[in-house]
Structure 1
Amino acid sequence: MEFTTQMDAAKKGIVTKEMEKVAKKEKMEVEELRSLVAEGKVAIPANKNHKSLDPEAIGEGLRTKINVNLGISKDCPSIDAELEKVQTAIDMKAEAIMDLSSFGKTEEFRKRLVDMSPAMIGTVPIYDAVGFYDKELKDITAQEFLDVVEKHGKDGVDFVTIHAGINGETAEVFKRNKRITNIVSRGGSLMYAWMELNGKENPFFEHYDKLLDICEKYDITLSLGDACRPGCISDATDASQVKELMVLGELTLRAWERNVQVMIEGPGHMAINEIEANMVLEKKLCHGAPFYVLGPIVTDIAPGYDHITSAIGGAIAASHGADFLCYVTPAEHLRLPNLEDMKEGIIASKIAAHAGDIAKGVKGAKNVDNEMSRRRQKLDWKGMFELAIDPEKAQRYRAESMPEHEDSCTMCGKMCSMRNMNKVMEGKDINILREDE
């Protein structure tokens, strides 16, 4: 039996090779996974032209995945530098990489990225439109926006962020409800500006069926962008954000009717006490579609440390149902991240994702923590490093300050609780002051 997309196959009862691989990774029965894909509660972004892909799934009951943002800009246009980051992100087992290139002819970088990456690849086609056509934003036509999406589909992009929810109605709600930071989504601000400059409806909303034609053709997953995500905690959960979310819920159903997979993008900056309610709201209004969050960043006063503010919010969001975390680096709000910034962002995001998985009871999530605890109890340093999220840093810290006795560390020395409890439990004497072992 033939099928057009992963969702089409799932609805027809077909188990694809991508479903088989994902089910094995997730330790899930493949029929359960297929059912979730058919319902739209799980997405498997897998463009037919992405030949190097090692598929992953995003959604209900699965491990929380992380995304790494990369790409060239006018001020930092080095393709080689970005490709070094790509390889590092792949080595660090990021499940997704988004190419946010926003300068010049980005096709070379995008194609090389797709060719080399087993991780799923995402893009924001509106970023590429200005450079692709060498036109000012106002002069780009609706058809030209759609043609850029098609080009990304041909190139093998697995998911695209499309800001279709900032339609005329949402724009009016935004105008009536003042914010401190207005529209902070880069793609969302570009689309709003295009609408205002041309006095026209959002072309991705107006021609949504044509967009779905493209997505169905290549099996591109639609990541419905949150143009009105809050850019500060004061703007969170306001009328603009909620109005757009309602529109995205309607667009989700229309996409599923065409067997196009959907993810919903979410906040943004948000106080800790609002995160749980936002996760419930998204899942309710968007019919259980996978939720993809940037952060949330839980305070606005930590430039240079926003990988931490984001990890705090990400862990809480994941514990309450967020399925996909977009990493944030220490360079957020300041500059294009360098390689070390990227590494710190990945580690922080992986910690948040894993903490969320433990809280929401993902199958097997606690196993590695329990094994780490057993190795700590045994003072098995090599074994601990093998399980660490960042073994390189853990080994370097220990090597920089070696204790007199190798079964302890320089914090506690012979007062180490693990060392002394092991001795006592074995019926041995404890020697804190004496020189003998």
Structure 2
Amino acid sequence: MTVVDLTIMPNKMENLTSRKMGVKAASEYLGVSTSTVRRWAQGGYLPGIKIGHRGVWKFTENDLNTVIKNPLDPEEFIHNHKDVPYNWASTKKTYEQIVKELSDIKYAVDQSSIVAVTDKDGIILHVNQKFTEISKYSREELIGKTHRVINSKYHSKVFMKDLWDTILSGKVWHGELKNKDKEGNFYWVATTITPFLDEKGRPFQFIAIRNDITERKMIEERKDEFISVASHELKTPLTSLKLNLQLLERELKKAPAQKRDAYLNKALTYTNRLSRLIGDLLDISKIQSGIVEYEMGVVDIDSIIKSSIYSVQPTSEKHKIVQKSSPHVKVKVDKQRIEQVLNNMLTNAIKYSPKSKDIIVDVVKDSDYVTISVKDFGIGIDKNMHNKIFEKYYRVKEVENSFSGLGVGLYVSHEIIKNHGGTMWVESAKGKGSTFYFNLPIHKSK
């Protein structure tokens, strides 16, 4: 039996001779440590290779028909198809084509997915760059450990037992896992774990390929919360509306006019609130479907601001909305939609500043845009939440139990302004109030 070079490196095919190679020489040849060479040989990751007398590797030509079980190194992974001949003298090009294809596949997987390889006991043997990026652990911190290092303790023992029972039986496992990175942040991954089987059909190694689905899971969680909150928010005004109408019906004949007016005003307030909630839900549906229609017209921005203040001011006797400046600037917009945005900003300013009185509206223009701002002196928003508050269904955790709302108003407003060619943003600090801005292109007469 002819002894040949253990490496089977495609760029060194001409070295496939009958010589032997020691562990140290193999280490230098492969560019890995001697301990890695020994581990590969002793661990059986390269079948047909073993450390013989005096630390000599032996690899026979017959072993070339065996799959080399290191899927992360295409130069050592030879796909075991019966129709692929291993006559290296005549089929060197075929071999190199196979390795090139495997290299391309590995590159594509590494670019798109989070990859880890473990032994049969779950000890991590390899992770790719995307694994270190999402887990925030270095390779050195992961190799030799198990996945307990990123265990979020979210999943039950029954769930994890089912996972292990599946892969240890030689079957592929598909599912979603919630993990925890080095900094304590949680993330979700869609996971496929594939077992590699030995000649007796027993798993000796696993490869896990994952994709980050954290954003999707967060949206799903927000949607679930939204449904719960929406049910409550819609039920509350309906209950109050029904109660006030019942009281009005009972007292209609005997109650004085002032008392009847009070019941009617409350019923009207709850009706308006319910109408706004339903309007927001319809707007989300239209935005997602891309069927929002805008009735564009040239208007003075000052008229929109004054109309919004006139509409919102009566909702709070405690607060005073002050318009700081009144420049007359023409914009081409859907007047009703821009009023909707400004109404939302003013309503939020009142809601989130329960201990202050003043709400300030300001207008600034430059050569191309007019910028409208609404400033309050309320609870403020933490800086790391500034971008998130414009996302669909998002509500700041610290205040969601203290203030009503669906978490859709700012999302709808942001989309309306974006569709008018403008932008919307916030400047705020926790405990120091907030200033919300949006700008619109100035209409220039031709």
Task: Give the TM-score of the pair, scaled to structure 1.
Answer: 0.23
Please state which structure has a larger fraction of its residues in helix: 1
Please state which structure has a larger fraction of its residues in strand: 2
